[in-house]
Amino acid sequence: MRNLELFSGAGGLAAGFSLAGFEHCAMVEHQKDACETLRYNYPQTSIFEGDVRNFDFNTLSDVDVITGGPPCQPFSLGGKHQGYQDTRDMFPAAVQAIRTLAPKAFVLENVKGLLRSNFKPYLDYILLQLTYPEVEIIKNEPWQSHYTRLLALTPHTYQGLGYSVSYQLMNAADYGVPQIRERVFIVGIRTDLACQWQFPTPTHDVDALKWIQYVETDYWDRLSTPVPESIKAQIHMVGTRLKRKYGLFAPPLKPWVTLREAISDLPCPESSPHYHPDHYFRAGAKIYPGHTGSYIDLPSKTIKAGNHGVPGGENMIRWETGDVRYLTILEAKRLQTFSDDYHISGVWSEAMRQLGNAVPVKLAQILANALMACLQTATPLLRRGRPPEPLACANVSSISNQN
């Protein structure tokens, strides 16, 4: 199946879709170093470097799926929280691509801040635009007026291109990624396709990790690591709580994957500077309030990009001794589940910015596998513009229930 990738960044979403068997017909990205990253890793794919609003979607045909992460700064908890008033809001461009190419499906990713209560009306507006993409905003029309027109539509009155849209907040750690990373995924299936989309079920959880650290304690043996004093002090209390909850048997899901597990086979970058070009030591890591690093025996904190490099705290390893150092690019790639040979262009701060903006490859592949399976079982209905089903939603209330 052919895929158009918008707002590609370093290509985490694209890499996952490639592993699931999707063919990329084009990628669109405005940032220079990210484009160099894409050109290196996808030499056979057309890369458009520039504003997505200047890309001619009519040059493409037979696009089955559109994917991408519209810039998230308007909704980020760490940003200015301007939402629809922010000129960096690129959801309208994504809707334009869908309107023009009428793909079978789309997958859009954004930050958890999109679910903030003060953005709820605009989130509803975004979802309605994706559901009825052919109902365009009129020139100089306020978005609220367009929103009202969309709200007035029903499955009986709308006969155009339509999508059944659902969204879910997903934590990458719950799917085997060694990073606690919560992101919103929006998936739309064209309503003339008789298939039922379901978000993948989580496979990992924190209790299963605590079980192998506090009850069976085989985690430490497997990694040839002494049990830290902080763990020893809590083994009885935590172990008792877990046994009371699960009895004699371990929790049913797999354990969260920790930072230590992700990088345990890598040598110390300070003592092995020539091991890998992306595995070099960077000095200067320090702990101070709000800047504590990622604990080695948990999934890492969310790797972040930041407007001027990286914040630092999330991108430091913190050992059980309290010592810290910055992650290398190679280690950050491991936490985002890129392959070791995936090339990231730019200096350390730029590479970390790209990685901080990326979708973890493993999570992208899990979503892509589920979407591929869904679309492969789809059977076309009589006409493309069949009225859309009510908006479905996982973990949060759907628009159909909100209005």
Residue positions annotated with a catalytic role: 72
CB proximity list for 243: less than 8 A, separation 6 or greater: 215
298 vs 320: CA distance, rounded Å: 11
159 vs 388: CA distance, rounded Å: 9
Distances (CA, A) of 193 to 75, 231, 305: 32, 52, 38
**Whether 251 contacts 211, CB under 8 Å:** yes
**166 membership: H or E segment, kind and range:** strand 163-171
- Beta strand pairing call for 163-171 and 324-326: unpaired
Helix, strand and coil content of the chain, in percent to the nearest 5, comes to 35, 15, 50
**Whether 266 contacts 330, CB under 8 Å:** yes
Instruction: Show the CA angle centred on residue 102, arms to residues 182 and 201, nearest 5°.
Output: 30
Token code pair at residue 320: 């059980």
Residue 326 β-bridge partners = 316
Tell which residue, 120, 50, 137, 55, has the closest CA to residue 83: 120
CB atoms within 10 A of CB 339: 12
CB proximity list for 327: less than 8 A, separation 6 or greater: 294, 300, 303, 315, 316, 317, 335, 352
**Whether 29 contacts 357, CB under 8 Å:** no
Residue 184 β-bridge partners = 110, 169
